[in-house]
Amino acid sequence: MQLSYDRGMLIVPHNEKYFIYSPANHVRVMVDEYASFLVEQILAAQGWIEYEKIIFAFADKFEVTLTTEEVMKQIERLVKMEVFFKTKEDLFRSRNKKIDKFKIIDKPPNLVYLLLTYKCNFQCSYCYLRDAYKDIRELDTEQWIQAIRRLKDVGIKKFCITGGEALVRDDIVEILQEIKTDDCEVDLLTNGSLLAEKFSELDPLIDHLVISLDSLDYDTQATTRSNYGYQKILNAIELYSKTNPQKLQVRAVINKHNLNQMNDFSQKLNRQYGIRTIRTLVNPISSEELDIIPEAVGKIAIDQDLLETFNYNMKYRKCGACNSVIALNPAGDVMPCQAIMKPEFRMTNIFEDGWFATYLQSEVRQQFISLNLDQMEKCNECSYRYLCGGVCPALAYNIYGKLDHHVPLFCDYLREKAHNTLLYAKGDWQDV
C-alpha cells in the first residue's frame, strides 16, 4: 500500500512533542516522538507501507517490539486526521475542502478602513502616506456620515478608523457615533498622542484600539516617529491598562533603530501594563528605502515568555484586499486596502451610483483576487506559505512595480513568524 501526502509536509520538534503540518490541506497535528518517527519512516519510503521495515526501525531506535496490528492502528489514526491519505483523490478532496472556505465570492467585505484624513501631527520617517496627496479634498462631517450609511447599506459591519491621524479631526466623535448607531464594530488606529484628552468621549465608541509606539526609549521614538506627545502616549497606555486593558494593543514597527529593543519593549508593556504588543516590519515605499529594513530582522530571537502573549492563530493566510477588506481614502475613493492609496488603484467613489457593483467588477479588484500563493515565485516552493500569506502586495508594488513580485528581504522575517504560528497558535490541532 502506498499512501498519498503533501510533499511539503513539515515535522517540527517543540517541547518534547512534534508538530506535523500538511500545507496542502492546512492541517496541524501534535504528536509524540513515536508517532513522529512513524511519519518519518513513511515519508522516507515515499508513502509505501512496509510493516516489517517499520517494526524493525522501531526496535532498533526505541528497543520496543510492535505488532503489525499496532502499526496499522497508528497509520489509520494519521489517515483519519488527514495527515496521510489512501488515494491522491482523497488528498485533493481534503485540499479543496479547505480552499473552498476561502474562495473569492462577490459579497461585502468584512472590514472597511476609513482614512478620515491624511493630516497628522507626527512625521514618521517610514510612513507610506507621508508624501501622499496632501492637497486631497477631504469629506466633511455630513459626507462621512452619508458614506458610512452607504457602506452599511451593502452589509458592512466592521470599521477601522485611521489616517493620517484620525484624532486631529474635530468631528471624530460624531463620526464614530454614526458608526455605532447600528451596533457595528469600531477599531481605532492612532499614534495615541491625542487620545487621553478625548478618552471619556471616545472609549464607549471603540471596540478595539491600536496605539503605534516604536520604543519606550524617548530618543528612538523621536528618531522614527516624533518627539511630540511621548508622555501623552504613555499616559494613554496607562489609562487603558487601568480601565480596559483587553481593548488595547500596542503596535511597534520594526526598523533598524529599534530592532534590538523589541524584546525589552514587549516585556515591559506586558509586565507593567498587562498590554499585548503587535510587531510589524517597516514597509518601504520605494526600492530606494530598502536600507531602513534591518539586515538581521529574520534572525531576531523572541524571548520564550513573550511568544505566548502574541495572538498567533492558524488562519489560512492570503491578502484580503478587495475581498475581505477595502478602504476609503479621505475623498471617499474606494481603494483595495489601507496600505495602497496610489491613484492607479482607485476603483470607484462611495458617492457614485452603483458604487458597489462597480467595485465588484473593477479590473483592480480582479488583479488582487487573482493573486495566488501557489503561482508566486519562491512562495510556491515554501511549506509555510499558507501560514505566512506571502509578502504584502502593496509592498511588492512599491518596490518592484508588481503586486506578485517576490521580496527576498522579507522572507526570513515572515518565515519566522509563520514558524511561531505553527508552534504557538492556540487550538486547531489534534494530539496523537
Bridge pairing between strands 158-162 and 185-190: parallel
Q: What are the cell numbers at 236?
A: 494613554
Residue found under cell 502499526: 71
Smallest CA-to-CA distance from 311 within 280, 349, 356, 276 is with 276
Q: Please count the other Cβ atoms lying within 10 Å of the Cβ belonging to residue 128.
A: 21
For the chain, what is the HEC assignment?
A: CECECCCCCEEEEECCEEEEEECCCCEEEEECHHHHHHHHHHHHCCCECCHHHHHHHHHHHHCCCCCHHHHHHHHHHHHHCCCCECCHHHHHHHHHHHHHCCCCCCCCCCEEEEECCCCCCCCCCCCCCCCCCCCCCCCCHHHHHHHHHHHHHCCCCEEEEECCCHHHCCCHHHHHHHHHCCCCEEEEEECCCCCHHHHHHHHHHCCEEEEECCCCCHHHHHHHCCCCCHHHHHHHHHHHHHHCHHHEEEEEEECCCCHHHHHHHHHHHHHHHCCEEEEEECCCCCHHHHHHCCCCHHHCCCCHHHHCCCCCCCCCCCCCECCCEEEECCCCEEECECCECCHHHCCEECCCCCHHHHHHHCHHHHHHHCCCHHHCCCHHHCCCHHHHCCCCHHHHHHHHCCCCCCCHHHHHHHHHHHHHHHHHCCCCCEEC
pLDDT of residue 429: 47
Cα angle, residue 273 at apex, residues 267 and 276 outer, rounded to 5°: 60
| Euclidean distance between CA atoms 391 and 111, whole angstroms | 20
107 close to 21: Cβ distance less than 8 angstroms:
no
pLDDT of residue 115: 97
pLDDT of residue 129: 77
Residues in Cβ contact with 277 at an 8 Å cutoff, skipping those fewer than 6 apart: 249, 250, 251, 252, 265, 266, 269, 270, 309, 310
5 close to 43: Cβ distance less than 8 angstroms:
yes
Residue found under cell 513513511: 42
pLDDT of residue 135: 72
Query: pTM for the complete prediction?
Result: 0.89
Q: What are the cell numbers at 9?
A: 509536509
pLDDT tens track for 71-92? 999 999 999 999 999 999 999 9
pLDDT of residue 232: 92
Bridge pairing between strands 111-115 and 158-162: parallel
| Euclidean distance between CA atoms 194 and 171, whole angstroms | 14
pLDDT of residue 326: 98
Residues in Cβ contact with 314 at an 8 Å cutoff, skipping those fewer than 6 apart: 26, 28, 387, 421, 425, 427, 428, 429
- Give the CA distances from residue 14 to residues 18, 19, 340, in Å, rounded to whole numbers and listed in that order: 6, 7, 38
| Euclidean distance between CA atoms 215 and 229, whole angstroms | 13
Residue found under cell 509563520: 418
Q: What are the cell numbers at 206?
A: 471603540
Low-confidence ranges of the chain (pLDDT < 50): 299, 301-309, 429-432
The overall average pLDDT reported for the chain is 88
